[in-house]
Structure 1
C-alpha cells in the first residue's frame, strides 16, 4: 500500500469515527407518523400549521371543515403561504384561479375583464385598453411594452429574445400587477405595490393569484367573492401542502387522516399539547430504520461492504470481476437511497452513513495505487458528509437531514458509475473520431439540458437538477479537445468543416452558459466563475506553449482584478449608489447593515464566524457539540449550500478551517501535478494519437481544477465578505447534488483514469527498454 493510501485511510477513519459519534450523540426526537382530524358534517376547525406536524417557524393557519354532505374542504386565512392540493399531476392553489372567458376581477382601482383564455394566451380588457399575454411577452393594444427602468441586463436580454423568438423557445416570464409604471411585463395599479398580484402559465392554463394582504375580487357566473380564502375540496389520495409540509390524505368517516412528509417538526417528547379534534400517532426518529421496500437493497449494501473490503486481496482476474460487481452494487444502492429520499420515506441516517462509508472505502481500495488527487478528495468528501450530518441531526425538523441523504446517495451513485466507466475503458485508446463524436454528443446533451432550464426551470434548475454543472463538465472537455489539437505539432486532421465545428462547439456552449447566468440567475457569480475558468485555461495554454508574455499579461489582469476589489471596498457605498447594474449586491457587500433583508446572509454568517472563534463555539473544535442543536446557524439562508463554510467555522473554529484550506489546496495542487504529468507524457510520446490524448487529459484536468478553484474562492469570498458575490456552493463541503454527481465524481474518475493510463504507459516503456 502506497503512502497516500495510508495517510488518506487514517484521516478517513478519524472522520468516519466523528460521523458515528455525531450519530450516537443525536438527541432523541419524536414526530407524528399520522395526524387525525375529527370534524362533524357542517362544522369547521381552525388550526395552525404546527398542529398538522409543520415546523413552528413556518407559521400560518388554516381552516378545515366539512359541508352538509360530509365532503372535506380546507382554506387558508391569508397570513401564510397559500395552501396547495395535489391530485396526481394536477395542482390546485388557494388564493388563485385559472382564468376563463367571461370572468371579471377587481384589484384596487383596476377592473378587468377576461375576453379570451386558452392554453396559449389570455386577453384582458381594462377600460379601452386591450392586453395580450402569452406567458412570455405582454402586449398593450398589440405593441410590446418597453423594458422597465430598473430591469436587470438578463431581463432586458430575455425581453429582446421574446420579441423575435417562436413561442416554444421563449423565456417564460410572469405578468405582474402593481407599481406606477406600465412597462415590460407589468401593469400599473395605483395605490398598490409591485407584485400585488400576478398571472403565470402552468399546465392548466393562465393562473392568477394575489399577495396574501391584497384583496382581489373575482366575479364569475354572477358570483362575487374574495379570491383569498376560497376553500379547496379535499379527497382521499390527494396531498395537501401546508407551508413546506406535505400531508397525504385518507378519509375515514368523520376523521381525516394525514400522513406528514417533507418538513416535519421534531420534538423532544410526546407531551405536545394539541387542539381539540386533533390527535397524533407518534413515532421515534430511528437512525437504523429501513423502509420495507428497501429491505433487499439493504442486504445488498451489506454484501457490498464486505466485497469492498475483500476484493483488494484477490488475484487480478478475480479482483477485476469482484470490483465490477461491487461498483454495480454501489451504484444501485445509491440509486435506491436517492429514490427513497425523493419519495419522502428516506432510510435512517445510519443506513445512509453505511452507504457513504462503502463508497469512501471502495474509492480508497479500488485503485492499485491511490493518487494524491483521490487521497485529498476522499477526506474532503468525508468532511462534507460530517458537516451535513451534524447540521441535520440537531435541526428542529426532518428536512435538514435530506441534504445528508442526498449527498450520501449521489456519492455512492457517482463513485460506482465512475469506477464502472474506468473498468469498461478499452485496453487501447479509442480513435480520435470516436472521441470527437462522444464529445459532440456530450455537448448536445448539455445544450439540450440548458435549453430545458431556460424554458421550464429557474435559477434553482429544472426537474430538481442543475444542468449548469453538467454543462461545465462538457465545456471543460470540449475546450480541452480544442487546446490539445492547437498545441499539436502538425495541423489538425479533418477538413475545414470539422475544424470549424471543433472551435464553434465550445464557443457556443460557453455563450449559452453566459446567457443562462445572465437570464436565470439574479447574481453574477457564475460570470465570475466562467471568467476564472477562461483565464486559467488561457494561462495553461500560454505555459504549455511557452508564451511568457501572454502568461505575464494574464497574471497582470488577475492582480488588477484583486486591486479593483480592494478599491471598491475602500470607495464605500456612496460611490456605487449611482450604478444601475447589480448595484444591490455591491451595496449589501459594502454595508449589509443598511440592507437588513438582502444582507441577512452576510450579517448572520459574520455572527456565526465570530462565535466560532479559533476553536469553535464549544471551545473543543466542535467535538463537544457534534450531533446537537446547531443554534442560530440554521437561520442563515442557504446555510447548507452557499454558507456551509459559515456553519463549519462556527462549529469547528478557524484552526479547523485552516486545515480545510490546506486540504483544498492539496487537492488543487494534486490535480495540477497530474495535469503536468499528462503533458510531459504527451511531449515524450511517439504516436500522434497517444500524444493528443495525453494533452486532452492534461487540459481537462486543468479545466476541472480551474472550476474547483473558482468554487473554493467564491464560496470563501462570500462567507468572509471578501467578494460581492453570492450563489456558489463550496465543492465537497456544501450539500451534494448536481455539482457532486455531474462534476466532482466525473472529474475524480477522469483523474483516476489518467493516472492509470500514465502507469500503463510507463510500464510499457520499461518493458520495451528491458527488451532492448
Structure 2
C-alpha cells in the first residue's frame, strides 16, 4: 500500500477531529464594549475585572471628568504602564516632553534642562554637563565608554551612532540609575538601574518612569502648577484613539457623558453573559462565532471556498494523468490558478488578523484544510516525506485549536488562525512552484535548467538577504526577533542552500572546474562562502541569551559532515563522526549524573544546569520545567481523560495552560497532557517517517547524480541531495531539543517543535520551503525515472527489430517488424506500469 493511500484517510480523520473539537466547544461570551458614564466632577477606577483584561492590575486606569466636562486619564498601576495612541503614535502615560528651564529630580539627584528642542536636550546635574540626542549620551562633551558586559552588537551600534548623521542614527534610550556612568546610563547612587528613561520621540525627548517595579522611585518634574510626580500625571482623552492596559488594547470613543472602550485583543471570556458591575459601568456582550467574517471581507469567504473546491478538483484531475502527460492542459492551468488563489487568501487572512479584524475560527479551519489537501493532491504521486509532513501539520493544527478553545482568553485562538494563514501562503506558493517546475516541456526531467552561474548568483543574493536580516535583528531587535519576524529561520534556509551548493561542486570539481585552476582558488571558491556565512551566522546567534542555537548548528554541522563522508566514501571520517555522536550522548548522561556543585563552577549558564538538575530547589526559575513535568505526569499513557484526548476535545485546557510559552517551546507537554504517551509515540513515528522520507529522496537524488552524463545535471542532483540533508538535519535538531527540553533530558532551551508549535517564522521561512523543495525533487525523480524507462524501451525495440530483420530475410521482413513492434509495445506498457516502483538502481547506466 502506498503512502498516499494511508495519508488520505488519516488526514480525513484529523480534519474530522478538528471539526469535532470546534463542535464540542462550549459557547463563550466577551464584552464588545465597555461603557462608562460619569457626571462632571466624578471619578472612577477600572481594573482587571472591570476591563475584562486578564493581565491588567486590579486598579489600572483612573478616570475623571472635570467640571467643564472634559475626560482625564491617569495610570493608577504602580508596576504596569498604560499606552495611549495619539496622532498615530503609542506613548506611555506618565511621560512628558522636556522643555528648556525645566528641572526634574529622581532619587537624590536633581537636573536642570539648559536647552531642548525636537532633536536633543542639554542638562546639568550630578556634577557634570550632559547632552543626549536620542542615540548617544555625552558627558562633558565626550561619549562615555561601553558598559561592562556589553556585547559586540552594543559596541557596534554605539560607534555607528557617534559617526553617523542624526537622520541615520539608531534610537537608544537614556537610562537613569545604578552606580556606574557608562554607555547611555547615567548613574545615581542608591537608585536601581533603569528607574527612569528618556527616549527620542517624533517631536521631543520624553522623560518617563520605568515600568516593572511595584515600588517605583518618584520622578518629580517642575511645571506651571509646581512640582508633580510624573507617575500621577493626568492626560486628557481628547484626541486619544486607543489605549493599552495589561496588553489589552481598547478603541476609545467619547460621546459627551459617556466613554466607550471597545476591547480589540487579549479579552477575557465568560461562560455566561452576566457579570456583577458597578452602576456607572455597562458591558455590551457578544458571543464568539466560529463563522464570523469582518465587514467588507465577505468576498474573501468565496475565495476560501473556491480554494477548498480546488483541492477536490485536484483529486479528480490527479487520477492517472500526471506525471506521464506533460503537455500543458486546462486542468494544469486551473490547478495553478487554485494554488495562487490559496496563497492570496492566506495573505488576506494574515493582513486581516494584523489589522485586528480576525476571521472566525471555522473559516480559518477551512483555509487550513484547503492548504493541506491542495498540497497533498496538487501534483503527481506524493512522496513519503510529503505525506508524513501533511499529517504532522494537521496534528499541529488540532493541538493549536485545542489550545485556543480551551483557554478563557480571546488571544489564544490567534495562534491557530495565524498558522492556518501561514500554511495557506507557504503551501500555496510551494504547490504553485511544484506545478510550474514539474510541468515544463522536455524529454527528460530536470533537463531544462538555468545556467549554473545564474543559480550561484541567486544563492549569493539569498545569503546576502539573510545577512541583512540578521544584522537588522542585531541592531533593531532582540532574541525574540525583529518586526515580529525571526530572521534566524530564513538564515537557516540560506545556510543550507549555500553549503549544499559548495558540497555539490566540491564532489565534482574535476568535471565542473577547469583543470588549470589553482588549488587555493578552487578551495576558496568551494569552502569560502559557506565558512564566511557560517561564521557570521554564529556571531549573530551568539547575541541570543541561550545556547540552543549553538547546539542546533552543531547538530547540523555533524549531519552535513556525515552526509559528505558517506557521499565521498570516506569510511574513517564516517566512523569518527559516529564516535563523536556517541561521546555527546555520554556527555549528556554524565551531566545528568554529576552534581550541581561541579557544574556551578563553570560559570557559563550554570544557573540553567542547576535548575535542570534540581528544579525543586529553584521553584521560581524552574517553574517552566516543574509545570511541564506535572503536565506530562497528568497525561500518563492515555491522556488526562483516559481516551487519548478525544473526550476532552473542545473543553477547558486545565493547568497545562499555565506553562510559560506552552504554545511554542512547551507545546509537546500540552500534547502529552491531552493525548498521552501513546499519542506521543504515534507523533514520534510520524516524525521519524518524515526524516526517513527526506533522506530517501536525498539518496535517490544522489544516485541520479551518479548516473547523469552531464556535469551540470550531476551538480544539480547533488545540490538537491545535500540541501535535503541539511534541511532534515535542522528539523532533527529542533525535534531533539524540543523533546529533550519537555522531557527534562536537556536544560531548558527555547526552540519550537517543527510542525507542532505555533512558530510563524519557522513554519513560513523554513518548513514550507523544505516541503516544497522535497516535493519538487521527488517529482523530478519520478519523471527522470519514467523518461529513462521509455528511452531504454525504445533502444531495446530498435535492437530487436534490427536483429529480426537480419535473420528473417527479405520475405519475412514485414511480418517480423510487425511482431517486433507488438513486443515492444507490450514491453513498454509493462515497464511504464512498474515505473513508480523502481529503485535508485534504475539510474545506473
Query: Which TM bucket (shorter chain)?
Result: over 0.9
The offset of 1:342, in angstroms, is 1.2
Give me the TM-score of the superposition, normalised by structure 1. Answer: 0.94
**2:479 matched residue in structure 1:** 459
Give me the TM-score of the superposition, normalised by structure 2. Answer: 0.86
> In terms of mean alpha carbon deviation, does 274-283 or 93-102 score higher?
93-102
**2:462 matched residue in structure 1:** 442
Which residue among 411, 424, 429 is the counterpart of 2:436? Answer: 424
Structure 1 Cα separation of the partners of residues 305 and 434 of structure 2: 24
Mapping of 1:47-446 within 5 angstroms? 47-55=46-54, 59-115=58-114, 123-131=122-130, 140-141=139-140, 142=142, 144-145=144-145, 147-148=147-148, 151=149, 155-162=150-157, 164-165=159-160, 174-183=173-182, 185-201=184-200, 206-208=205-207, 209-211=209-211, 212=213, 213-221=215-223, 223-235=226-238, 238-314=241-317, 317-425=329-437, 427=441, 428-446=448-466
The offset of 1:36, in angstroms, is 1.2
After superposition, the C-alpha distances for 1:489-512 in whole angstroms (9 at most, x for unaligned) are 516548888975664443343233
After superposition, the C-alpha distances for 1:8-45 in whole angstroms (9 at most, x for unaligned) are 11111111111111101111101111121112233221
Residue 196 of structure 2 contacts residue 219 of structure 2 at CA under 8 Å; is this kept in 1?
Answer: no
**1:575 matched residue in structure 2:** 598
Mapping of 1:655-670 within 5 angstroms? 655-670=678-693
> In terms of mean alpha carbon deviation, does 188-197 or 347-356 score higher?
188-197
Structure 1 Cα separation of the partners of residues 577 and 523 of structure 2: 27
Q: Kindly indicate whether residue 514 of structure 2 is the aligned counterpart of residue 512 of structure 1.
A: no
After superposition, the C-alpha distances for 1:546-605 in whole angstroms (9 at most, x for unaligned) are 122222222222222222232233232212333333332222222233333332211111
Which residue among 730, 748, 760 is the counterpart of 1:737? Answer: 760
Residue 386 of structure 2 contacts residue 771 of structure 2 at CA under 8 Å; is this kept in 1?
Answer: yes
Structure 2 Cα separation of the partners of residues 568 and 124 of structure 1: 54
Mapping of 1:672-751 within 5 angstroms? 672-751=695-774
Q: Which runs of 5+ in 2 are unaligned?
A: 442-447, 796-845
RMSD: 2.5
Residue 87 of structure 1 contacts residue 237 of structure 1 at CA under 8 Å; is this kept in 2?
Answer: yes
Structure 2 Cα separation of the partners of residues 564 and 99 of structure 1: 57
The offset of 1:221, in angstroms, is 4.2
The offset of 1:768, in angstroms, is 1.5
> In terms of mean alpha carbon deviation, does 467-476 or 116-125 score higher?
116-125
Structure 1 Cα separation of the partners of residues 380 and 727 of structure 2: 23
**1:486 matched residue in structure 2:** 506
After superposition, the C-alpha distances for 1:439-466 in whole angstroms (9 at most, x for unaligned) are 1221222122222222222222222111
Residue 94 of structure 1 contacts residue 229 of structure 1 at CA under 8 Å; is this kept in 2?
Answer: no
Q: Find the residue that maps to 1:585 and give its secondary structure.
A: helix
- Computing the radius of gyration from Cα coordinates, the structure with the larger value is 2
The offset of 1:143, in angstroms, is 5.3
Number of positions where the alignment pairs a residue of Structure 1 with one of Structure 2? 765
Q: Which runs of 5+ in 1 are unaligned?
A: none
The offset of 1:120, in angstroms, is 6.3
Structure 1 Cα separation of the partners of residues 100 and 602 of structure 2: 44
Structure 2 Cα separation of the partners of residues 252 and 379 of structure 1: 52
Residue 71 of structure 2 contacts residue 236 of structure 2 at CA under 8 Å; is this kept in 1?
Answer: yes
Distance 1:311 1:663, change over 3 A: closer
